[in-house]
Amino acid sequence: QIQLMESGGGSVHAGGSLQLSCKAAGYAFIHACMAWFRQSPGKGRELIAAIDIAGGTDYVIDSMMGRFKISQDRRAEKIYLQMNDLNPEDTATYYCAANLATWGRSGLYCAKSPFDSFGQGTQVTVSA
């Protein structure tokens, strides 16, 4: 059974930073494409960044480039989302996701693949 557990959310002031973590379990970590999504109240879930675990290549959407960074620790079977220069528009619930059917390709390919496993989410609140 796939398990994804996010942590690291919290409340920060604008301009602050947070690092989210996602611990994966229940499958071969390297054989996956993983991603971070977020969902704000009244909005749909949007992909922020993706990473191909086997190849190590990643992808971050243009609007987040330079502020957000996705990374992995294979030994710990975790992925991370480093978020810098946060602003109130970044307030959302952040979700970790996995796609076990797509791996060994690029981060961009991973980002465009369908994700069917999500964690429970971690809340990030940024105040002005």
pLDDT in tens, the chain (128 residues): 999 999 999 999 999 999 999 999 999 999 999 999 999 989 999 999 999 999 999 999 999 999 999 999 999 999 999 999 999 999 999 999 999 998 889 999 999 999 999 999 999 999 99
pLDDT recorded at residue 104 = 87
**Burial environment of residue 43 by CB neighbours within 10 A (0 to 12, 13 to 18, 19 or more):** exposed
Distance CA 76, CA 29 (A): 10
Backbone angles phi, psi at 89, to 5 degrees: -70, -15
pLDDT recorded at residue 40 = 95
